[in-house]
Amino acid sequence: MRNAPTILHLDMDAFYASAEQASKPSLRGKAVVVGGLGPRGVVATASYEARVFGVRSAMPMAQARRLAPNAAYLVPRFGFYRAISEQVMALLHALSPLVEPLSLDEAFVDLEAGETAWDAASARLVGEKLRADIRAVTGLTGSVGLAASKMLAKIASEEAKPDGLVLIEPGTERAMLGPMSVRTLPGVGPATGDHLRRAGITTVDDLAEAGEDELVRLLGKAHGHALHAMALAHDERPVVAEREAKSVSVEDTYDVDIHDRLRVGLEVQRLADRCVRRLRAAGLSGRTIVLKVRRYDFSTLTRSETLRGPTDDPAVVRESAARLLDSVDTTGGVRLLGVGVSGLADYTQEDLFAQAAGEGAAEQVAEEGDQEPVEERQVVVERRWPAGHDVRHAEFGHGWVQGSGLGRVTVRFETPGSEPGRVRTFRVDDPDLEPAEPLPLVEGAAGVSAEGVGA
């Protein structure tokens, strides 16, 4: 471990929910839950107002609705969140060449490598300025932890939440960690925590006193050794610069199992197109096409096909995904579908044979008149109004979807810089209503794209 608190950990505060509140004036200060809204959905993020009711990330959405029935429940806008994340990551990269993202809203930064901090005083100044810059650029808040190791910096940022900064002075780590719960340490989840509790180990001090041999006996060699080192505040892991994505994928979970084979095929084609958009946005191509199918009985099947060379051609990916689907029995119903591309490269070397097959299939569809109803059904499938997503009306301007059903869609018309707006209801097929791109959260900032780069 180093002698100065020059490792910074940033964790944005209730990121998805905070972004939605900043985007929608009528939701500010109110309980907001972001996640899958169907009966099988789970909570991605809950605002601090929703957490008061006990709503937490990874909780089943049905349970969240019972705890906070009056909260606003929104479908995630991952492209929007990615665009904000890119703004935040740019601020981090300005501090150091060593930035290690853990997710869209969380990252480690080695300030020493960037020569931006060398002691506690300079590290604190950098942390405070970073928090101010994030607020100025995105309108959101983040919590900062500063310490001499990654483990301690992450613990410090958690202690700083929400919208704070905690710096752990070198030499004080053991005293600070001692009374904390064993669950504070990374790698100690509910199962491990319960196992340790049954052995009479509940605090970090208890871990240290138990000794390495006892922890190895309880948890195995690798986990026991690592946990004993963490209990002594030993963590030599370096900050590792961002690695290239290994795959790009998209998936959808359906509220009601899909039994119609034609509908399943259309959904796979739509997912293939979404996956290719993410590939191209990242400037990538890939060799291996992957299809994921979760069936009615929760069994999950994965099929893959490796092409002769990397591609970002939508026809090639659609054709490959369709071939993979042919090998899967979906007669009992499908609850989840996913399409991914792996074996990524930063250039495109088209598989000419697969491309030709895709083009041939496209020509065949164009020539056969009985395929026209398929195209019509695809349009119906894609015309959805997810709660929380942006729309624009020819007369009323920009707004967001509050909800839809029974052939109607309810929209609240407001923007990040406006007062809370009025609510109006339209037919789902109203020609004056169309999906829209998210607006910037901070006036004068660059717009953000609704379709971002995924991995």
Query: Which active-site residues does the annotation give?
Result: 106
CA 424 to chain CA centroid, Å, is 31
What does the alpha-carbon distance between residue 84 and residue 77 come to, in Å, rounded to a whole number?
Answer: 11
274, 314 Cβ separation under 8 angstroms: no
Structure tokens at 175: 């005293």
- Residues in a beta bridge with 392: 398, 434
**Residues 205 and 179: beta-carbon distance below 8 Å:** yes
Contact 268, 322 (CB under 8 A): yes
127 vs 198: CA distance, rounded Å: 40
C-alpha 174/C-alpha 162 separation (Å) is 24
Backbone angles phi, psi at 68, to 5 degrees: -135, 75
The backbone torsions φ and ψ at residue 346, rounded to the nearest 5 degrees and listed phi first, read -95, 20
8 Å CB contact between 379 and 328: no
Please give the C-alpha separations between residue 350 and each of 185, 315, 322, in angstroms, as whole numbers: 47, 11, 18
In Å, how far from its chain's centre is CA 199?
A: 36
What is the pairing mode between strands 334-345 and 247-258? Answer: antiparallel
Contact criterion met (CB below 8 Å) for 401 and 391: yes
Which residue is it, tokens 């009992």? 332
Max distance between CA atoms of the chain, in angstroms, equals 77
Are 52 and 366 in contact by the 8 Å Cβ rule? The answer is no
Measured CA to CA in angstroms, residue 131 lies from 19, 23, 29, 371 at distances of 16, 19, 21, 55
Determine contact, residues 69/39, Cβ cutoff 8 Å.
no
Helices within 68-172 (DSSP H only): 78-93, 120-138, 150-160
